[in-house]
Amino acid sequence: MQGLRQDIMPLSRRDMLRTSVAAALTVTGSTVYAADPPLAAFLPAPPVSQFKVGDFTVTKVLDVDGIRLPASDAVPKEYFTNNLDWLAPQHYDARAHYILLSIHVYVIQTRDKIIVVDPGLGDNKARVVAGHQEFNRQGGPWLYNFANAGFKPDNVNAVVSTHLHGDHIGYNTVLKDGRWIPTFPNARYYLSKIDAEAMGQPNKSGGYSQDFVESIKPVIDAGRAELVAGEVTIAEGVNLVPIPGHTPGHYSVHITSKGKRAIFTGDLWHSPLEIMYPRMPSLDRDPVPAQEARIKFFDEYADKDVLIVPAHHNHPSIGHIVKVPGRGRMFRMLG
The confidence band for 293, taking pLDDT boundaries of 50, 70 and 90, is very high
Lowest mean pLDDT among 30-34, 59-63, 106-110, 134-138: 30-34
Q: How far apart are CA 44 and CA 66, in angstroms?
A: 7
Structural domain spans, the chain: 16-333
Residue pair 106/309 in contact by the 8 Å Cβ criterion: yes
What mean pLDDT value characterizes the chain? 87
Lowest mean pLDDT among 6-10, 146-150, 170-174, 305-309: 6-10
23 versus 187: the higher-pLDDT residue is 187
Dump strand ranges (E) for 54-142: 56-70, 92-93, 98-109, 114-117
What is the rounded radius of gyration, in angstroms, for the C-alpha atoms of the chain?
19
Average pLDDT of span 18-41: 39
The confidence band for 31, taking pLDDT boundaries of 50, 70 and 90, is very low
Farthest CA pair distance, the chain: 59
pLDDT exceeds 70 at position 6:
no
Average pLDDT of span 239-262: 97
196-204 long-range contacts, CB within 8 A, separation 24+: 196/164, 196/220, 196/225, 196/227, 196/249, 197/227, 198/248, 198/249, 199/164
Per-residue model confidence as pLDDT tens digits over 173-227 = 999 999 999 999 999 999 999 999 999 998 888 889 999 999 999 999 999 999 9
Q: Roughly how many angstroms between the first and final C-alpha of the chain, as a whole number?
A: 22
- Residue 197 has what pLDDT? 96
28 versus 272: the higher-pLDDT residue is 272
73 versus 204: the higher-pLDDT residue is 73
Q: Thinking of the domain 16-333, which architecture would CATH place it in? A: 4-Layer Sandwich (3.60)
Angle at 102 between CA 292 and CA 246, to 5 degrees: 20
Average pLDDT of span 138-142: 83
- Residue 270 has what pLDDT? 96
Per-residue model confidence as pLDDT tens digits over 255-272 = 999 999 999 999 999 999
